[in-house]
């Protein structure tokens, strides 16, 4: 089950999404060796990335990055508009040093250094045009006291609150085999099929949120989206109408390639690469998202820089070389 279900309510200005990911999540995990507390945070952010990506009218890649000076140095989840995704984590400590139940605050907000960055990179972006990017700190002020956020759902909620016009609620759960999530978004009170007066609209939004709040982690992790929708909104569906669309599929997919690794070698420069060749006999690297190994021996490296020279020849000569 790797499905995302979108639904709309006829009696409330609400658009919702329910996601359930299993084999696509296992495909991420089997390529990695993260400690349990890190897997849990990564899983929640994978769920969030699919929910946010599906909520946007946008063709491109949504990238969630969490960065800190804590044990999790960088966490990246990428989800394309076709709901193909990949994810990685970079730790600054040995995995054995991370406690099994370490919190998001402990792992991602050491010294209030945690940041959440969400980038929308449209597929038709012109070269040189920057992608849209929003950043929030992973802390909240409570009566003058700064507290780190406690979960990925809270971090995403904070982000939405600070950057988005639409009110959004999100629930996330993950374990070693499954990810589940629910997103509720308040749509404009009128327009589309919904025409409600402001009091009915406000009441409807509260009613749907109250129903959403009854969702449990157990349900999110074990039930199909259609079942969750039926259970949670049975009465709403009977009395006011709730309609869902055909479920969308989520899959794991990595976009790494030998050509992209060759580009990285060109950026390192021929001198650096020759140094690695002299020391190790070949340049070996592993994709940080899918763990696919890449090996460039001396002949491959020669080829890499031959191509560079050819493309350089078409450019005006730069000074200093």
Residue numbers at the binding site for Zn ion (CB under 5 A): 254, 256, 287, 289-290, 292
CB closer to Zn ion, 218 vs 284:
284
Smallest gap from Cβ 71 to Zn ion, in A, equals 24
User: Closer CB to Zn ion, residue 7 or residue 289?
Assistant: 289
Strand 60-67 and strand 179-186: pairing?
Answer: unpaired
Mapped onto helix, strand or coil, the DSSP state of residue 290 is coil
φ and ψ of 280, to 5 deg? -115, -5
Q: Which is nearer to Zn ion, 46 or 290 (CB)?
A: 290
Q: By C-beta, is 69 or 292 nearer to Zn ion? A: 292
Displacement of CA 149 from its chain's centroid (Å): 17
**DSSP 8-state symbol, 195:** E
Q: Shortest distance, CB of residue 256 to Zn ion, whole angstroms?
A: 3
Tokens of 309: 């020279």
CB of 289 to Zn ion, least distance (A): 4
The residues, ordered by sequence, that sit 6+ positions from 260 with a Cβ below 8 Å of its Cβ are none
- Closest distance to Zn ion from the beta carbon of 255 (Å): 7
Measured from the CB atom, is 84 or 237 closer to Zn ion? 84
Q: Give the H or E element holding residue 221.
A: helix 217-222
Minimum CB distance to Zn ion, residue 287 (Å): 3
Q: How far is the CB of 247 from Zn ion (least distance, A)?
A: 27
DSSP readout, 77-139?
EEEETTSEEEEEEEESS-GGGS-TT--HHHHH-GGG--EEEEEEEETTPPTTPPPEEEEEESE
How many CB atoms are closer than 10 A to CB 255? 13
- The runs of H, that is alpha helices, within 233-320 are 234-239, 258-268, 270-280, 298-313
Nearer to Zn ion, 25 or 289 (CB): 289
């Amino acid at each position: 089950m790797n499905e995302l279900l979108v639904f709309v309510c006829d009696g409330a200005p609400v658009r919702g999404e329910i996601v359930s990911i299993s084999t696509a999540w296992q495909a991420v995990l089997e390529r990695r060796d993260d400690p349990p507390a890190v897997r849990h945070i990564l899983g929640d952010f994978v769920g969030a990335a699919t929910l946010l990506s599906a909520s946007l009218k946008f063709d491109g890649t949504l990238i969630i990055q969490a960065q800190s000076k804590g044990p999790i140095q960088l966490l990246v989840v990428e989800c394309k508009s076709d709901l193909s995704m990949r994810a990685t984590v970079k730790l600054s400590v040995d995995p054995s040093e991370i406690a099994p139940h370490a919190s998001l605050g402990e792992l991602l907000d050491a010294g209030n250094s945690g940041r959440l960055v969400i980038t929308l990179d449209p597929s038709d972006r012109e070269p040189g045009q920057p992608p849209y990017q929003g950043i929030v700190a992973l802390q909240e002020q409570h009566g003058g006291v700064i507290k780190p956020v406690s979960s990925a759902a809270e971090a995403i909620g904070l982000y939405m609150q600070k950057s988005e016009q639409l009110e959004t609620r999100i629930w996330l759960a993950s374990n070693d085999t499954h990810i589940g999530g629910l997103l509720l978004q308040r749509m404009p009170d009128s327009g589309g099929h919904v025409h409600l007066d402001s009091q009915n609209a406000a009441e409807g939004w509260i009613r749907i949120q109250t129903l959403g709040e009854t969702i449990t982690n157990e349900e999110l992790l074990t039930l199909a989206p259609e079942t969750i929708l039926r259970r949670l909104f049975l009465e709403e569906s009977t009395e006011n109408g709730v309609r869902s669309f055909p479920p969308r599929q989520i899959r794991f997919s990595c976009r790494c390639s030998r050509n992209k690794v060759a580009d990285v070698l060109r950026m390192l420069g021929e001198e650096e690469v020759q140094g690695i060749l002299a020391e190790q006999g070949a340049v070996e690297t592993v994709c940080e998202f899918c763990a696919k190994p890449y090996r460039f021996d001396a002949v491959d490296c020669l080829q890499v820089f031959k191509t560079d020279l050819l493309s350089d020849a078409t450019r005006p000569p730069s000074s200093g070389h």
